[in-house]
């Protein structure tokens, strides 16, 4: 079977599973809502990040989307049926990753645009404008898509959405901040901290907005490669 019908089949799975559609909606709602709250109580140190602060919560919905899209295949023997229809496991996983990436990126870009508008309206004259707002909006969309794919790769390795979320959510909300406060520039290369450089007006670390996203992309690629390797080497 060629790639296109496999991709079409995976897209049907994603758009017909309510939990996945709900996760994508939550990306937009959580990011915009928490960004509005943060902007309303923001100081002048970094108004751009205040406007996009909600991405810390929106990314949880993004990783839930990526993890659930993959982990659902391991329930009830669904993966065995999938591999019976698509024996080429690498082609199937590439189609699954593409079916995750496209809607995640689309929703992420919409989320970035809405968040920039909401943040600008809340902050007033101090809000993000021009190229800075555009860079943050695009960076927000790319970052959220990368985090969804990162979770998808990890879920393919762990074969469990619960295990994936149990690792990533505490890491993103707790461990990353603790390590960041203790380890200096080393923490700049963690996937979340690197990707979120694009959401700051100024940055003191090693990475810039696009190099930070590139680092996050490397983490994501490593997770997807590990997931593809796990699918090839282990029984369905």
pLDDT tens string 41-52: 766 678 888 889
Number of domains forming the structure of the chain:
1
Residue 236 has pLDDT above 60, yes or no: no
Residue 183 has a pLDDT of 59
Q: Which residue range forms the structural domain that includes residue 182?
A: 3-233
Section 11-15 average pLDDT: 92
pLDDT tens string 139-152: 999 999 999 999 99
HEC string of the chain? CCHHHHHHHHHHHHHHCHHHHHHHHHHHHHHHHHHHHHHHCCCCCCHHHHHCCCHHHHHHHHHHHHHHHHHHHHCCCHHHHHHHHCCCHHHHHHHHHHHHHHHHHHHHHHHHHHHHHHHHHHHHHHCCCHHHHHHHHHHHHHHHHHHHHHHHHHHHHHCCHHHHHHHHHHHHHHHHHHHHHHHHHHHHHCHHHHHHHHHCCCCCCCCCHHHHHHHHHHHHHHHHHHHHHHHHHCCC
């Amino acid at each position: 079977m060629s790639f296109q019908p496999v991709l079409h089949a995976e897209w049907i799975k994603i758009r017909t599973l309510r939990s996945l559609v709900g996760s994508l909606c939550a990306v937009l709602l959580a990011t915009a809502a928490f960004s509005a709250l943060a902007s309303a109580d923001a100081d002048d140190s970094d108004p751009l990040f205040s406007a996009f602060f909600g991405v810390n919560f929106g990314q949880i919905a993004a990783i839930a989307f990526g993890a659930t899209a993959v982990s659902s295949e391991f329930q009830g023997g669904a993966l065995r049926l999938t591999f019976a229809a698509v024996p080429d496991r690498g082609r199937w996983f590439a189609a699954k990753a593409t079916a995750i990436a496209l809607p995640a990126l689309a929703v992420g870009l919409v989320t970035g645009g809405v968040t920039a508008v909401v943040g600008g309206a809340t902050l007033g004259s101090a809000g993000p404008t021009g190229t800075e707002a555009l860079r943050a909006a695009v960076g927000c969309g790319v970052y959220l898509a990368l985090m969804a794919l990162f979770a998808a790769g990890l879920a393919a390795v762990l074969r469990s959405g619960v295990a994936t979320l149990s690792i990533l959510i505490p890491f993103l909300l707790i461990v990353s901040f603790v390590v960041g406060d203790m380890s200096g520039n080393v923490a700049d290369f963690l996937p979340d901290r690197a990707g979120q450089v694009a959401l700051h007006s100024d940055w003191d670390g090693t990475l810039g907005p696009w190099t930070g996203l590139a680092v996050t992309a490397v983490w994501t690629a490593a997770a997807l490669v590990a997931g593809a390797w796990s699918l090839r080497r282990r029984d369905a």
